[in-house]
Amino acid sequence: MPTRLATPAHPRLPHALIEAWKAVPSSVVADQLGGTGHADPRIRPIRPFAPGQRLVGSVVTAWCEPADYGPVHHAIAVAQAGDVIAVAAGGRRDAAMIGDLLSGAARLKGIAGVVVDGAVRDVGVVAQWPDFMMFSRWVMPRGPSTMERGVVNGAIVFGGVAVSPHDLVVGDDDGLVFVPHGLAEAKLEPCLARVRAEAGWEKVLAGGASTVETFGVPAMVAL
């Protein structure tokens, strides 16, 4: 069966909203979502992020059957500049779903990055690109075998998280968090407020205050 293209249930998030989320670390997002949006922590960036940088974008999904990477090709074809391609490969390590050739084509389109619940390869090359980020569960040299099955822009499960096309993803050195489309606007201001609060706490602690005082930790009792 050829690769199928689904119709997303939600429209693309506004560009200004996505840009605003770039000020929010994944740790803050994960806390504000109550632990429901973070992907399996074994899915890691292939290189550290530059200070203050993170991967933020609207998700294009690609669900891949074993050893088939047809959906990755088609996801790159339909993705727009700034998007992030999320490849759901079932956490498998048997075949890399993407390497430097497909990543390079995505980069030329302005796609911000690719996150893979599975394997990737050519990381030595891709890791040198400052304007493209790759996350993966595994790195392995063997490539895929077929390119004729799977689904693009369908609902997926990525690293244990239910993800739909046009959801928001935030990724940095701490990991990946997915914000459901319907919460992207409502959760932004609480997340920004937490970022401001943490900046204030940092100043207070730098002035010599204790963490017990700063965070209102309940007093100890004598044994």
Mean pLDDT by 10 residues, the chain (223 residues): 92 97 98 96 98 96 96 98 98 97 98 98 98 98 95 98 98 98 98 98 97 95 94
Residue type, 174: D
Question: What confidence score (pLDDT) does residue 1 get?
Answer: 67
- CA dihedral angle for residue 198, residue 204, residue 208, residue 214, rounded to 10 degrees: -70
Q: pTM of this prediction?
A: 0.96
Short-list 81, 84, 96, CA closest to 134: 84
What is the sign of the dihedral through the CA atoms of 87, 104, 113 and 11? negative
pLDDT at 214: 96
Give the pLDDT of residue 40: 98
pLDDT attached to residue 174: 98
Per-position b or e across 6-23, b if 16+ CB within 10 A of its CB = eebeeeebeeeebebbee
Of the CATH numbers 3.90.550.10, 3.10.20.440, 3.40.50.1100, 3.50.30.40, which one belongs to the domain with range 14-207?
A: 3.50.30.40
